[in-house]
Structure 1
């Protein structure tokens, strides 16, 4: 409930501080006194957008603070999800700076306007003639039915199942799209994979093939050089081997003359052994090398295929081609195994839809069970509000789609007069009729759920006499379970308030400002008498005012 409202430097208001209580409070005042300004200021604290026109004095900032007792509203989850500190007494503050910038706070924590607006909607419901269009919306009508059916737990279960169903459906559609795209590429990927697999690539094979190709392609030059080498080693009259052997014999004759000569002789011996081994290797290689045009053609073909694959896949290494082959194998395998995955996803969709359908049917049964009761309550209450012939046709029919509030289509038709055709509320009900229907529905809702603070902004416009008295009685009855504020110009309604405030203008130094005060019992009598008979305050008006207060 709204506990306290503070307004500084807003429109015609310099500084107003008002404390509110629970139950029913009425707010009165002459036309133009500033009742709408008061509501406009509160709307800023609840998240409405503002501009510099909100400032009374352009060089000072405007501050509006609204304090609420939220202990009964189960808002801890909202505070937690928005990183706000929860307190049973919560303060909403709005500041509009001379620069035009706006700041919003919840319990002194800065918040963006969206958070303030969503919280405000949970705390205050402002109802005026302009907002009766909400009554014509199907979602609101269904909310009324659900309130009577006490479907809150069923709705929670349904919505949780709806989230699971949509998640499973999304996964299935994504997999189906992936399969469709993968199938388009499957044949090409399969061809590329088989092409790489047929190449029988291994790490290092490119270097091996290129080396073999060079040898086979240059066999004549290799043989020529090997022959030259063999000739140098063994040629007549003095090849390398013969010369080293002669050198060895010469140095052997010096070994007796000292260790240095002996060591030199041993080194020559070692060189002779290595050179002899080289000569033998040259001979072996010369015998093993031969022209092989067939093998040359094979190796050349392998290399050309490798180079073509590297060009196609834009790489220059066998290792990268092998990685590409593995990737292609995975893609091919995904398509080949996707049918099993699709089956699993389809089964998940069917399972979640079965659970969702169960909750939807449960919701629907609960709704159908209260339609007759809702219809009777509406018609009975409207009869006391001057609409004795008002009747409704309310039906629930299965929908083809799962919606956020179930799988039902609601038909909510209205007729204000006997013999008149039924039609949609927005088409056949007048503004005054919509106001009375909305009041009736709010009063019904207040018996079934904890509603936020309800502010009626002159919804009794165009109503007078006994009907206005009954409207006041309905608001008074509602205030037994919730906080109700009514901005009214009707004394019959104003008198029903447990407390009454008056909004008025006063002028100081030629400047008008809006003020607000809570009326004493005597002041209430005077205010009601003025509303009844004008400023003259006749004895009959005063007597009538006292009678109204006694009736309340």
Structure 2
């Protein structure tokens, strides 16, 4: 609830500080005294945009501060979501600087206007004759029914499941879109994969094939050179082996004389052994080396294939070709497995659809059961407010589509006159009737949910007599469970308040100022008497005022 309000340098208000109680508070004052200024200042606290014309003194900043007791409002989740510092006694402050800039604070932490508006909606509901269009909103009508049907928890579950359902549908659509594109590439990717698979790619084979091709393609020249080497090694008188054998024999005679001669001998002996091995290998190579045109053709074909594939795929090695083949294999497998993924996703959606249908039927059932009770309560209250023939026709049709709050289509029709046609509220009810309907709805809601502080701004305009008395009774009844303000011109309503405030203008140093004071019992008698009979109060007006207060 609103516990205090401070306004400095705003419109006609110089410096105002007022404390409020719970229960039913009345605000009265002559036309033009500044009640709208008070509401304007309060609206800034609730997130309304400000402008420089709001400043009383354009060289000083305007500061509006309100303190709220919110311990029973269950706002911890909202404070956490908006990153506010939560306090049971929460202070909201707005500042309008001479530069025109505006700042907002919640518990001394700066906040933006969107966040302030979200919080403000949960703290104060300012209701006037000109703000009854909310009543004609289908969303608000659902809120009324769901409040009475105690649907808050089940609706939260529904919204969570609906979010998951939409996410699954989005994932399915992405799979279908991917499949549509993948199918176009599938045949080509499959062709490329088969081409690479049939090539029997082996890491390092390119180098081996190129070496083998070089041998097979030059076999006659190789054989000729091997033959020359064979002759050089094995020439009978001057061959390398014969010469080394003679050298070895010569040095062998010196080896026993000195270690350095022995070293020479050993080195020549090692060379002889090595040359003997070379000779043996050359001999083997000559015997095994044969021309093989078929093998040459096979190697040539494989090399051409590998080079063509490397050029086609912009690869520089067979290893890169193998990597490309593996990636193509993944794409082809993914495309071929998409049907299974899509079927699995559809099964998930089917299961989620079943859950949502079950929840939405529960929501529909609870709404259907509460509608006759809501209709009866509203019609009873409106009859006491001078609308004895008021009737509602509230129809709920269970549909096919999943809507943000279930699957129901709601028609909220109204008829003010006996035998009259039912029509939409905004067409069937006048402004004054809409105000009374809204009062009736708020009074019903107050029995079921914790409403924020509500301020009725002259919703009793055009009402008098017993009807105004009944409106006052309804607001008084509401104030048992919530804080209620009524800005009124009617003494019958003013007399029912627990606390009474008066808005008035006064001239201070030739400057007009708006002020707000709390009236004591005697001051209330005078104020109500003036509301009954004007400034020239008669004895009967004073007596009547006392009677109303008692």
TM-score (norm 1): 0.93
Deviation at 1:477, TM superposition (A): 1.4
Give me the whole-angstrom Cα distance separating, in 2, the residues matched to 1:12 and 1:324: 79
Does the residue aligned with 2:347 lie in a helix, a strand or coil? helix
Cα distance in 1 for residues equivalent to 2:110 and 2:124? 20
Q: Would you say how many aligned residue pairs link Structure 1 and Structure 2?
A: 550
> Does 1:331 find its partner at 2:325?
no
Q: Could you tell me which residue of structure 2 aligns to residue 142 of structure 1?
A: 142
Distance in 2 separating the partners of 1:414 and 1:265: 128
Change (3 A) 1:465 1:195: same
Deviations 1:115-158 (A, max 9, x none): 22211111111112232111001111111112222223332333
Write out aligned runs for 1:115-134 (5 A).
115-134=115-134
Counterparts of 2:537 and 2:321, CA distance in 1: 102
Q: Which runs of 4+ in 1 moved over 4 A?
A: none
Is the counterpart of residue 471 in structure 1 residue 485 in structure 2? no
Alignment of 1:57-456 (within 5 A): 57-235=57-235, 238-456=238-456
2:498 maps to which residue? 498
Please give the secondary structure, in 1, of the residue aligned with 2:30: coil
Once the 2 structures are TM-superposed, how far is the Cα of residue 298 of structure 1 from its aligned partner?
2.1
CA drift at 1:342: 3.0
Could you say what secondary structure the match of 2:132 adopts? helix
Q: What runs of 5+ residues in structure 1 fail to find an aligned partner?
A: none
Distance in 1 of aligned mates of 2:54 and 2:519: 27
* Cα deviation digits, residues 446-496 of structure 1 (max 9, x gap): 111111111112222333333323222211111111111122233332222
Q: In the aligned structure 1, how far is the partner of 2:113 from the partner of 2:313?
A: 54
Taking structure 2 as the reference length, the TM-score comes to 0.93
- Greater displacement, 526-535 / 1-10: 526-535
Provide the aligned C-alpha RMSD in A.
2.3
The unaligned stretches of length 5 or more in structure 2 are none
Aligned-partner Cα distance in 1 for 2:125–2:40: 13
Inter-partner Cα distance in structure 1 for 2:225 and 2:429: 112
Give secondary structure in 2 for the equivalent of 1:196: helix
Cα distance change of structure 1 residues 28 and 183 upon mapping to structure 2, 3 Å threshold: same
Q: How does 1:26-41 map to 2 (within 5 A)?
A: 26-41=26-41
Structure 2 Cα separation of the partners of residues 94 and 31 of structure 1: 27
Cα 1:482–1:303 shift into 2, 3 Å = same
Rate the CA distance shift 1:64–1:266 in 2: closer, same or farther, 3 A: same
* 1:379 positional shift: 1.6
Q: 1:511 to 1:356 in 2, by over 3 A?
A: same
- Residue 220 of structure 1: CA displacement? 4.1
* Structure 1 residue aligned with 2:48: 48
Aligned to 1:238, the other structure's residue is in SS state coil
